[in-house]
Amino acid sequence: MAAEGLSARDWGTADRPTRTRRRHTALYSAVAMALVLGAFVGVLATRKSALDKQARSPLLGEQAPDIIGDSITNGAPFSLMSLRGRYVLVNFFASWCEPCQEEQPQLVAFDHEPSGRTAVVGVLFSDTPGPAKAFLAANGGDWPVLADPEGQLALNYGVRGPPESYLVNPNGVVLAKFIGGVSDAGLDRLVAEAQQGGGQ
């Protein structure tokens, strides 16, 4: 310890008596690093979770393409128009898609919002009704689900791979597109923003 007590300054002075003014390189570098990293942390802190990441889509602000067909869950005819007045999440999914399985509980939560102003519609993407029914039985979800065997709905919406989802407002206008999973909390936030913004 005693040996350690001799500091670099003493040592430095002894070594180089000419260096009287202390330099501040470390201090300045630290301040510069602090500024850069502060900004970096700011970026990190304000990032939304990748789950709620919204994607660009030509459909944003446009009328959602209609979805008409028989639901595979109960065979009842369905039309997206029938859900006007509610915030609808159109969810493209497949039973073979693991992220879809992970996001399913979030969809169930969104479908069951106490406000009663939300709904979910599922559209199969490259999948058949059989496995899809098993998927719904295992992971929950009792909303209308359409088969889309020709992939026409996916084409209309510009879906590339499941899960992709579109949030449609009560007037049938597309508010947001999500590539990858969504979260109930994130959707609620968007709905709340839309309600404030639109005065609804």
Partner 1 sequence: MNALVGRDAVLLGFLAALGGVVTLGFGLRRHQDHLLRQARTYAWLILGAAVLAVAMMERALLTYDFSLTYVADNGGRQVPVIFTISTLWGALAGSILLWTLILAGYTAAVVLKFRRRAVDPLVAWATLVMYSVCAFFFALMLFSGANPFTKVPGTPPANGPGPNPLLQDHPLMIIHPPMLYLGYVGFTVPFAFAVAALVTGRLGEGWLIETRRWTLLAWGFLTVGIVLGAWWSYEVLGWGGFWAWDPVENAAFLPWLCGTAFIHSVMVQERRGMLRVWNLSLVLATFCLTILGTFLTRSGVIDSVHAFTESDVGPWILTFFVIVLAVSIGLIGWRGDRLRSPGAIDSPFSREGAFLANNLLFAAFAFVVLLGTVFPLLIEAINGQQITIGGPYFNTMTEPIVLCLLFLMAIAPALPWRKASGELMRKRLLFPAWTAGLTVVACVAFGLRGGVDTLACFGLGAFAAAAAVRQLVLATRRSLADGAGPWRGIVGRANGGMIVHIGVVIIAVAFAASQAYGHRTEIPMRAGQSAKVSGHTITFLGIHTEQHSNRTSLVADVRIDGGKVYTPQISDYPADPGGGIGTPSVRSTPVDDVYLTIASPPQTPADPTVIGVTVQPLIIWLWIGGGFMAFGTLLAMLPGRRRRPVLPASAPAHEEAPVRPRRLPAGASAAVETP
Report the interface residues with partner 1, using CB under 8 A. Answer: 1-4, 6-9, 11-12, 15-16, 22-27, 29-31, 33-34, 37, 40-41, 43-51, 53, 55-56, 95-98, 101-102, 131, 134-135, 138-139, 180, 183
- Chain-centroid distance of CA 168 in Å reads 15
Calpha distance 154→62 (Å, rounded): 16
**Least distance to partner 1, CB of residue 12, Å:** 4
**Least distance to partner 1, CB of residue 137, Å:** 10
Q: Which is nearer to partner 1, 61 or 77 (CB)?
A: 61
Q: Which is nearer to partner 1, 169 or 183 (CB)?
A: 183
Q: Shortest CA distance to 184 belongs to which of 126, 83, 134, 115?
A: 115
Q: Are 87 and 191 in contact (CB under 8 A)?
A: yes
**Least distance to partner 1, CB of residue 130, Å:** 12
The answer to whether the bond into 163 is cis (omega within 30° of 0) is: yes
Q: Which is nearer to partner 1, 7 or 199 (CB)?
A: 7
**Least distance to partner 1, CB of residue 84, Å:** 30
Calpha distance 196→41 (Å, rounded): 30
Q: Which is nearer to partner 1, 18 or 196 (CB)?
A: 18
**Least distance to partner 1, CB of residue 110, Å:** 14
Q: Which is nearer to partner 1, 9 or 189 (CB)?
A: 9
Q: Which ranges of the chain does DSSP label H, i.e. alpha helix?
A: 2-5, 8-15, 25-46, 98-111, 129-139, 152-157, 184-198
The pair of three-digit structure tokens given for residue 93, joined into one six-digit string: 């999914």
**Least distance to partner 1, CB of residue 80, Å:** 27
Q: Which is nearer to partner 1, 16 or 196 (CB)?
A: 16
DSSP structural state of residue 79: E
Phi, then psi, of 3 in degrees rounded to 5:
-65, -35
Q: 79 Cβ partners below 8 Å, 6+ apart? A: 66, 67, 68
